């Protein structure tokens, strides 16, 4: 059954309506139930009431840091699946900390986190599939792309940020990994966010400017970035798997592209897909 959330954040309204400007989030009440979404980030404040007990701390790859002391990961997790700000309001949220409390990390830590998820999901109990949301990136790295590709071939759908330099995503990792679903950012007026990377390796755009979501210490905050677009797509992946049945990561990214609203966005270069994420509700 279709449910309507009134007064939703603009991003949720956008991904569930063909026209811009709605603050009603329309979604099927399956809501990502039975899907696991791994958030590889600064961590998740799992006790935040918005997560309703669906968030679990799994592992930290940062020595001596076993919580989200930053906020970025909690914000991204909130867009995936919090009660008020989330796309997939019944999904399991799983914290894998690969970024420190200053918001930075090493490629070695990121790779270790990806390898962990590739193994963990097999015994985690995720009948509607495993999804990873990675709102992080850096300069092109063959080893990071290789780890991302291995994760996808193990069966994990991977949503990654295109990057925030207003440049070609081919120069960044894991954004440039073809088998990852690479996400650019948009504004509430259907423009490409000025900071959003672009290019042939971007698969989909989603709301990324002025996104309201959960923050640490039980709070909320509005921030911008392709980091904010990425969890919209991870949540959508969980949602579609729960609603329509689990498909392979490649088929799921293609489904998200096929379902997308076409040619609605301004400021998208000709060589970049003009696809805006849409849930089909």
| Catalytic residue positions, numbered | 41, 72, 227
Distance CA 77, CA 186 (A): 19
Contact between 36 and 109 under an 8 Å Cβ cutoff? The reply is no
Q: Judge residue 29's burial from the number of C-beta atoms within 10 Å of its C-beta, 0-12 exposed, 13-18 middle, 19 or more buried.
A: exposed
Burial 168-192 (b: 16+ CB within 10 A, else e): bbebbbbbbbebbbbbbbbbbebeb
User: How is 62-128 classified by DSSP, letter by letter?
Assistant: STT--S-SSSHHHHHHHHHH-TTT-SSTT-EEEEEE-S-TTS---HHHHHHHHHHHHHHGGGT--TT
């Amino acid at each position: 059954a279709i449910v309507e959330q009134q007064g939703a954040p603009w991003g949720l309204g956008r991904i569930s309506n063909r026209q811009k400007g709605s603050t009603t989030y329309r979604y099927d009440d399956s809501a990502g139930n039975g899907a696991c979404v791994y958030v590889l980030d600064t961590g998740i404040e799992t006790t935040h009431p918005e997560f309703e007990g669906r968030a679990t701390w799994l592992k930290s790859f940062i020595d001596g840091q076993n919580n989200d002391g930053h906020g970025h990961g909690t914000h991204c997790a909130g867009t995936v699946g919090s009660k008020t700000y989330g796309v997939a309001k019944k999904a399991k949220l799983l914290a894998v900390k690969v970024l420190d409390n200053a918001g930075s990390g090493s490629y070695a830590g990121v790779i270790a986190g990806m390898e962990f998820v590739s193994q963990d999901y097999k015994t985690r109990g995720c009948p509607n599939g495993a999804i990873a949301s990675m709102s992080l990136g850096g300069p092109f790295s063959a080893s990071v792309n290789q780890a991302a590709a291995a994760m996808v071939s193990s069966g994990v759908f991977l949503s990654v940020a295109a990057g925030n330099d207003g440049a070609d995503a081919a120069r960044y990792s894991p954004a440039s990994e073809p088998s990852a679903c690479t996400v650019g950012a948009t504004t509430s007026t259907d423009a490409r966010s000025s900071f959003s990377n672009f290019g042939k390796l971007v698969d989909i755009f989603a709301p990324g400017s002025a996104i309201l979501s959960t923050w640490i210490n039980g709070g909320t905050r509005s921030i911008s970035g392709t980091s904010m677009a990425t969890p919209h797509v991870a949540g959508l992946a969980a949602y579609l798997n729960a609603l329509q049945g689990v498909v392979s990561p490649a088929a799921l990214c293609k489904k998200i592209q096929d379902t997308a609203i076409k040619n609605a966005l301004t400021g998208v270069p000709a060589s970049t897909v003009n696809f805006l994420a849409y849930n089909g509700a």
